[in-house]
Amino acid sequence: MILLIDAGNSRIKWTLQGEKHMGVLPVEEAGNLLGQLGDVQGIREIWASNVAGELIAQTIRDAAAQLAVEVHFIVAQKSQCGVHNGYANPAQLGCDRWAAMIAAWQLVKGTCLVVSSGTATTIDALSASGEFQGGLILPGVTLMRHSLYGATAQLHAAPGEYAVFPKNTADALYSGALQASCGAIDRQYAQLEDDSAPIVLSGGAAAVLRDRLKQPLLVVDNLVLQGLYLISQEKK
């Protein structure tokens, strides 16, 4: 059995491949990972995508040591699982983006836009032959709102609702962040020049973005975890 771990900026998601066990915990509670797993037997290795820093990496190593198994932290490669990395320095591409693109390629096997909407929103383009053509990174919907709260004295944190023409500040902040994200996705999608290509959408904000996007959509939970599993199998 393989334990797959996606350690993001805000949350750690994990699953046991071949089982229905799955969990999510805040990064500040990473030390509770083994407690969440419970009395699980048969884990033989761990594969992890970590963008949460060295402290979280060490926490995962400590968990692996307690389980007496090897942990593999993935790094973006020049080519892997049918995807070819167009980054100037392939290893500098975020490992979570790399895993997400590998999972998206396995699902689509063609041109697509891979959008992960978490703390940050990443928008990555794959060609019909599996070439990563490049991508954008921008603040996620929640981070955009919170950055304005923190930098503007007269704005106060409050939930908002989407409106085409908002008539209160909370709605204006929420709608602005949502429209900015959708606008970036729309502009990148237009560069694909293929109206049949899907957007493969995942992440915590997928539910609010999906209703504002008009392109073909494939909404996938746990895209990074799926990519991790594909990588683990290619390495065997």
CATH 1.10.10.60 assigned to 109-222: no
| Nearest Cα to Cα of residue 141 among 209, 194, 93, 235 | 209
| Nearest Cα to Cα of residue 223 among 125, 109, 104 | 104
Report the topology of domain 2-73: Nucleotidyltransferase; domain 5 (3.30.420)
Q: For 75-85, what is each residue's pLDDT tens digit?
A: 999 999 999 99
Q: Average pLDDT over the chain, rounded to whole? A: 91
Q: For 127-138, what is each residue's pLDDT tens digit?
A: 999 999 999 999
Instruction: Give all strands (DSSP E) within the chain, no chain letters.
Output: 2-7, 11-16, 22-26, 45-50, 70-73, 79-80, 83-85, 112-117, 120-126, 131-139, 199-202, 217-219
Q: For 177-221, what is each residue's pLDDT tens digit?
A: 999 999 999 999 999 999 999 999 999 899 999 999 999 999 998
Q: For 13-65, what is each residue's pLDDT tens digit?
A: 999 986 667 899 999 999 998 888 877 778 999 999 999 999 999 999 999 99
Q: What is the pTM of this model?
A: 0.92
Segment 110-126 mean pLDDT? 96
Q: Position 112: which residue type? A: C
Annotated active-site residue in 96, 194, 195, 221: 96
Domains of the chain, by residue range, sit at: 2-73, 109-222
* Catalytic residue flag (residue 96): yes
